Amino acid sequence: MAQLSLAVRTVLLIVALVFFLSCLLLFAAGMFAPRALGFLDAAVCPQGMQLNNHEYSRPDTEGNDVTAVTLICTAEGQQPVDATPKMLLILFSLPVLAAMLLLVRSRIPANPG
């Protein structure tokens, strides 16, 4: 039983760490290489569209040009769809799930006896 408990704790820790690291990697990929997130097309974009990013400049309150990047879903012949809300949901869900896994892990005794 002790070995099973240790194995479960180890697996939960590894999965939680993967979720935490995935959050950072997904954010970076979304900003700099959105096609690297192609596996999320089905979850984030309407059918037949792909994830992409769009840069645009606009002046801030002081008149300086500020470049903004948004995630959009695109397809030829269709209007772009903003993917930022769904992507943020995924990004914020990963750390929450990781924290829940760590909470479950803390409830499993390290040395059952």
Q: What is the pLDDT of residues 60-102, one digit of tens each?
A: 788 788 887 788 899 999 999 999 899 889 889 999 999 999 9
54 or 97, greater pLDDT: 97
Helices and strands per DSSP (H, E), number in the chain: 3, 3
pLDDT at 1 over 70: no
Q: What φ, ψ does residue 73 adopt, rounded to 5°?
A: -105, 130
The confidence score (pLDDT) of residue 113 equals 59
Q: H or E stretch including 74?
A: strand 65-74
Return the closest-CA partner of residue 7 out of 82, 86, 105, 113: 105
Distance CA 90, CA 85 (A): 9
Q: What angle do CA 39, 45, 46 make, to 5 degrees?
A: 125
pLDDT in tens, 16-37: 999 999 988 988 887 788 788 8
